[in-house]
Chain A
Amino acid sequence: MIRLIYAFVLTLFLILIPLFGVGILGLTRFFSIVIPYSAFLIFLAGSILRVLSWVSSPQPFKIPLTAGQQRSLQWIKSSYIESPYNKIGIFMRMLLEILFFRSLLKNEKTNPHVSKWLLFTSNKRFWLMSILFHYSLLIIVFRHLKLFFEPIPSIVNLLSRIDALFEISIPTILLTEIIVLVCIAYLLLRRIVVSQVRYISLTSDYFVLFLLLSVVLTGILLRHLFRVDIMDVKRFALGLFLFNPYIPHFVGSCFYVHLFLVSFLFAYFPFSKLVHAGGVFLSPTRNLENNSRTIRYLNPWNYPVKTRTYDEWEDEFREMMKEANIPVEKEDRKI
């Protein structure tokens, strides 16, 4: 439980930084220009270095984790997605993994309700919450593109319209606002309530959830309670990406808290568990063919070992062998 409290206090501390910096010290220039730019640079450089560190670690074996029959004899039916042997299988497997999180369906648990026997069934609730959470975040990111693109691509407007489907209140309460809050609550409660998950939860696990929760909450507050002049915000967002920084005038501290937390999230991204967004593409248990029995895989760090073949040995001792009537092989082979 102490880890949960650490993470919570750390998040509160992060929220207090911009409140103090902008609200009391009035450092608007620092918080609207220096912080976002440095966060973006850290994000960009950190992510690239992280990927480079991954791809520079040698792969001694092929280690795909499979859940299906591998290809062997023609009359044995093989499972080309669960145990892929070629690039098409790998592509299908990765696509399903990235878009539908199939690995999470294999997060099995015993289910005493299904039958009187010990039966393992997949934990579909966790999969559902997880997939809703990720897609909500994706739509939220897409919705924000309206602030960064001029003219706004029609797909962004379309997504916003779909998100505002129910037209409740003005400004409309969005579907993703509610879904993402429910999902974060579920993911947090799961780490608190389920004793096994609580046991393996680290401070950083809670912290990431608290950080996302605070980002989402400040975003919702900005939309429904502490509104800002959104035209000014768009001018600011466009200015950042066109290297023509503009300090927004008609925004409150809530905007700066949101901006600071998002900046922190970006800067923290390459050094946290959140890099699974990039890591999923490079996970060797998913993106390798299960063909180590048909194609020999050479360990890239194999040390050049000094060897001495039998033929070389025979060349040296042939005469002595003949004298002792020991059969020789190399000479016989030539005849």
Chain B
Amino acid sequence: MKKIYDKGKTLTGLIIFVVLVSSPTWYNLVFGKGNYVPDLKVEKNGKECVKRTSYMKKNHMELLKVWRDEVVRTGNRTYVREDGEKFEISLSGTCLKCHTNKQEFCDRCHRYVGVTPYCFGCHNIPRETRK
């Protein structure tokens, strides 16, 4: 083994490096929430969702964007799915019929993955107490 110069400084630097790159491990161990997976509440009020769950999980924001543009730009409030099924384009009228609780559905997951969509900056959700 070769001689190591500046042992103290080197060791300090290396310890800082190891602590930084392993920070997710100890941070999650300290807070003990590493295994937490949000439980999303859905009430099945009638029909199935506009799109398949696997599509909605990844692309719900895309659908909402298309709907927003449709309503705002053309005033069309009817969405026709590929198979001919018709839906009213409305966040509170259609989406919130099943996903009744914003706090326990939208917010829970958005908070988990650190997303702050700007939709709710303007759109008030009924029955939600704003802080």
Tell me the A residues contacting B by CB distance below 8 Å. 40, 43-44, 47-48, 51-52, 55-56, 58-59, 145-152, 156-157, 160-161, 164, 167, 169-172, 227-232, 234-235, 237-238, 241-244, 250, 278, 281, 300
Contacts and interface: CB of A to CB of B under 8 A. Distances in A.
B76 interface: no
A55 B59 contact: no
A164 B121 CA distance: 14
A43 B17 CA distance: 11
Contact of A146 (B58, B61, B113): B113
Contact of A56 (B4, B57, B59, B115): B4
B116 to A, nearest CB: 6
A237 B33 CA distance: 13
A169 to B, nearest CB: 7
Contacts, number: 106
A146 B114 contact: yes
29 contacts: A47-B17, A48-B14, A48-B17, A51-B10, A51-B17, A55-B4, A55-B5, A58-B5, A59-B5, A146-B113, A147-B113, A149-B24, A151-B31, A160-B116, A170-B62, A170-B64, A170-B119, A171-B115, A227-B58, A227-B59, A229-B54, A231-B57, A232-B57, A238-B28, A241-B28, A241-B34, A244-B34, A244-B35, A250-B54
B110 to A, nearest CB: 10
Interface in B1-50: 2-6, 10, 13-14, 17-18, 21-22, 24-25, 27-29, 31, 33-38
Given A151-B31, A170-B65, A234 B57 contact: no
Nearest to A160: B114
Given A55-B4, A169-B65, A242-B25, A150 B36 contact: yes
Given A150-B36, A227-B59, A234-B112, A51 B64 contact: no
A196 to B, nearest CB: 35
Contacts of A52: 4, 10
B15 to A, nearest CB: 11
A59 B4 CA distance: 11
A149 B111 CA distance: 12
A248 B106 CA distance: 21
Contacts of B27: 149
Nearest to A157: B114
A243 B115 CA distance: 26
Contacts of B96: none
B21 A44 contact: yes
B13 A241 contact: no
